[in-house]
Chain A
Amino acid sequence: MRYKRPLKDKLASKFMLILTILSSLIVFLMAFGLYQRSRSILATKSLTELLFSTSWHPLKGEFGFFPFIMGTIWVTGVAVVIAIPLCLLTAIYLSEYAHRRIREWTKPLIDLLAGIPSVVYGVWGVLVIVPLIKNHIAPFFGRISTGYSVLAGGVVLAIMIFPIIIHVSVGVFSSVPYEVREASLALGATKWQTVKHVVMRKAMPGVIAAIVLGLSRAFGETMAVLMVAGNVAKVPSSVLDPAYPLPALIANNYGEMLSVPLYDSALLLASLVLLMVVLFFNIISRVVLTRVEKRVQ
């Protein structure tokens, strides 16, 4: 009995080690798998042709991703443009102005936004944002729109990335030493001047990292965008046009039309591209944020 216990302990720790290694390897395994499966389309067409052709006719064997890439960029771009000012002002208020009690109440509520399932955002977008655009915003600009548009996707996405950007930015702002603010205030600067010229400047790398983190989340978000963006395979020319972002393309079609030659391979290539872009942004922002944290210590 006595000798079994250390052995069990050892086995358990080895087992957990293997699990840990496996889960940290999953990203690489997935990337490798996707690459393997997308090789057959890369063998027939060049990557640049696939990425920059606008012609998407799987039945004719034409797989141009450009409309989807542009759809992703449009929707994400609108989301970020809406999110940046709102998130920054919220983060500044929470870290610089808010009374402790307000901060204790509102911050968890904002963080809670991150936990709402994305399909709920999608439903909300269909019920609220889409009609709002169809009945009010588009007519206001003299346009006709179904409401299912870049703008609808952007608005829903913006709200989904709020908690990430706000949470990380508040952390970054509070990493700026209090004495730097004091130095500015002691010179007779107002609080806003101090925030604008000193805190913001000192926090800038971290804030950019926060935005990039939000961006990478927005790139990959599928469900909510798929429900409101309209899904038309054409490069949008305004925010009121529908868009068909990459994740929506993959989710809508994978498993459906796999009898079409190369279709499956094309979609997996799209997944690989998406994975790479999101990973790239994630890594960059994490590196910057780690540096910001180090500066504090």
Chain B
Amino acid sequence: MELRTHISVQNLNVFYGNEQALKNITLDIPDKNITVIIGPSGCGKTTLLKSFNRLIDSIDGVKVSGKVLVDGENIFDPKVEVTRIRKKMGLLSQKPYPLPMSIYDNIAYGPRIHGIKDKKRLDEIVEHYLKESGLWNEIKDRLHSPASRLSVGQQQRLCLARGLAVEPEIILGDEPTSALDPKSSQRIEHRFLVLKKQYTIVIVTHILRQAKRLANYVVFLYLGELIEHGPAEDVFNNPKEEMTKEYIKGIIS
């Protein structure tokens, strides 16, 4: 299959102090597909994901070399405005972290930051993205109650809607279902499958079965090194590397 590249990682190295978290990663992430990054914990999955929206910037003592091109633009170029890069990507973290405000304001937060003030427009945005994340029917009567009162599963969908409301091109998920019950996880996974028609989705997971359910493209990291990457069928059914085979069989974890 012919894939258009959306994010291109070139010779990316990330150091935390003296410790190297990512070792010379080069890889292309395809547009409008779900790419799943797998690997045992501590292998640099999250670091790779957070280098895409430069959230690793704020970690003390971090050093980055190499390039990450998004739509052909190197996001680590010092001239690049980091807020513009981040606006292109929605982030779902391991646990949902609603902002300390109402459900409505959580969704409207991003659009407001980016200059939308019109009340009617904001109402439309809130409704639209709550529907898109499959939350609207459950909460449409209490939009102005605090977001912290929602269940964890609902909060994660709220975070998804909040991320979508800034009209990103890419959705980043850092083990986005690890804090959720099976039913809520299923809902989130279902959302991803719907959303991949419009967005490029990159998910970090350590759940192999989830990776198999979702992935079009798989990236396998081990101890900061890129071991293997390719279309999901190839990696899961026909891994080229011995280590990938062992990981998929559950020998190393």
Residues in A lying within 8 Å of B, measured CB to CB: 99-100, 177, 179-180, 182-190, 193, 197-198, 201-202
User: Is A193's CB under 8 angstroms from B113's CB?
Assistant: yes
User: Is B93's CB under 8 angstroms from A183's CB?
Assistant: yes
* B110 close to chain A: CB less than 8 A: yes
Q: A187-B86, A188-B110, A198-B100 are in contact. List 17 more A-B contacts (CB 8 A).
A: A99-B60, A179-B93, A182-B93, A183-B93, A183-B97, A183-B162, A186-B53, A186-B55, A186-B89, A186-B90, A187-B113, A187-B162, A187-B163, A188-B86, A188-B166, A189-B113, A201-B99
User: Is B87's CB under 8 angstroms from A188's CB?
Assistant: yes
User: Is A183's CB under 8 angstroms from B159's CB?
Assistant: yes
Q: Given the complex, which residues of A lie within 8 Å of B83, measured CB to CB?
A: 188-190
4 cross-chain pairs, A with B, having the tightest CB-CB distances, nearest first? A188-B87, A186-B91, A187-B110, A202-B100
Known contacts A183-B91, A186-B55; is-contact A177 B113 (Cβ 8 Å): no
Cα-based distance from A124 to B159 in the complex (angstroms): 53
Q: Given the complex, which residues of A lie within 8 Å of B110, measured CB to CB?
A: 187-189
User: Which B-chain residue is minimally distant from A199 (CB atoms)?
Assistant: B100
User: Which B-chain residue is minimally distant from A99 (CB atoms)?
Assistant: B60
Q: Given the complex, which residues of A lie within 8 Å of B86, measured CB to CB?
A: 185-188
Cα-based distance from A182 to B92 in the complex (angstroms): 10
User: Is A183's CB under 8 angstroms from B60's CB?
Assistant: no
Q: Given the complex, which residues of B lie within 8 Å of A189, measured CB to CB?
A: 83, 109-110, 113
5 pairs, CB–CB < 8 Å, chain A vs chain B: A182-B93, A186-B53, A186-B55, A193-B113, A198-B100
User: Is B93's CB under 8 angstroms from A197's CB?
Assistant: no
* Chain A-chain B contacts (Cβ-Cβ < 8 Å), number: 62
Q: Given the complex, which residues of B lie within 8 Å of A202, measured CB to CB?
A: 100
Cα-based distance from A187 to B84 in the complex (angstroms): 9
User: Which B-chain residue is minimally distant from A96 (CB atoms)?
Assistant: B58
Give per-residue flags for B156-189: 1 if the beta carbon is below 8 A from chain A beta carbons, else 0. 0001001100100000000000000000000000
* B114 close to chain A: CB less than 8 A: yes
User: Which A-chain residue is minimally distant from B112 (CB atoms)?
Assistant: A197
User: Is B97's CB under 8 angstroms from A197's CB?
Assistant: no
Cα-based distance from A193 to B93 in the complex (angstroms): 20
Q: Given the complex, which residues of B lie within 8 Å of A197, measured CB to CB?
A: 99, 109
Q: Give residues 8-37 of B contacting A (CB, 8 Å).
A: none
User: Which B-chain residue is minimally distant from A181 (CB atoms)?
Assistant: B58
- Distance (Å) between the CB of A222 and the closest chain B CB? 39
User: Is A198's CB under 8 angstroms from B93's CB?
Assistant: no
User: Which B-chain residue is minimally distant from A183 (CB atoms)?
Assistant: B97
Give per-residue flags for B125-159: 1 if the beta carbon is below 8 A from chain A beta carbons, else 0. 00000000000000000000000000000000001
Chain B contact residue count (CB 8 A cutoff): 25
Among the listed B84, B87, B89, B99, which residue makes an inter-chain contact with A183, where contact means beta carbons less than 8 Å apart? B99
Q: Given the complex, which residues of B lie within 8 Å of A184, measured CB to CB?
A: 99, 109
* B252 close to chain A: CB less than 8 A: no
User: Is A198's CB under 8 angstroms from B166's CB?
Assistant: no
| A100, A183, A186, A190 pick with most chain B CB within 10 angstroms | A186
Q: Given the complex, which residues of A lie within 8 Å of B166, measured CB to CB?
A: 187-188
Cα-based distance from A256 to B236 in the complex (angstroms): 92
Cα-based distance from A100 to B60 in the complex (angstroms): 8
User: Is A179's CB under 8 angstroms from B97's CB?
Assistant: yes
User: Which B-chain residue is minimally distant from A179 (CB atoms)?
Assistant: B97
Q: Given the complex, which residues of A lie within 8 Å of B84, measured CB to CB?
A: 188
Cα-based distance from A117 to B84 in the complex (angstroms): 51
Q: Given the complex, which residues of B lie within 8 Å of A183, measured CB to CB?
A: 91, 93, 97, 99, 159, 162
Q: Given the complex, which residues of A lie within 8 Å of B99, measured CB to CB?
A: 180, 183-184, 197-198, 201
* B95 close to chain A: CB less than 8 A: yes
* B3 close to chain A: CB less than 8 A: no
Q: Given the complex, which residues of A lie within 8 Å of B100, measured CB to CB?
A: 180, 198, 201-202
User: Which B-chain residue is minimally distant from A202 (CB atoms)?
Assistant: B100
Cα-based distance from A157 to B160 in the complex (angstroms): 48
Cα-based distance from A97 to B110 in the complex (angstroms): 22
- Distance (Å) between the CB of B92 and the closest chain A CB? 9
- Distance (Å) between the CB of B167 and the closest chain A CB? 10
- Distance (Å) between the CB of A198 and the closest chain B CB? 6
Cα-based distance from A201 to B110 in the complex (angstroms): 16
User: Which A-chain residue is minimally distant from B101 (CB atoms)?
Assistant: A201
Q: Give residues 68-117 of B contacting A (CB, 8 Å).
A: 83-84, 86-87, 89-91, 93, 95, 97, 99-101, 109-110, 113-114
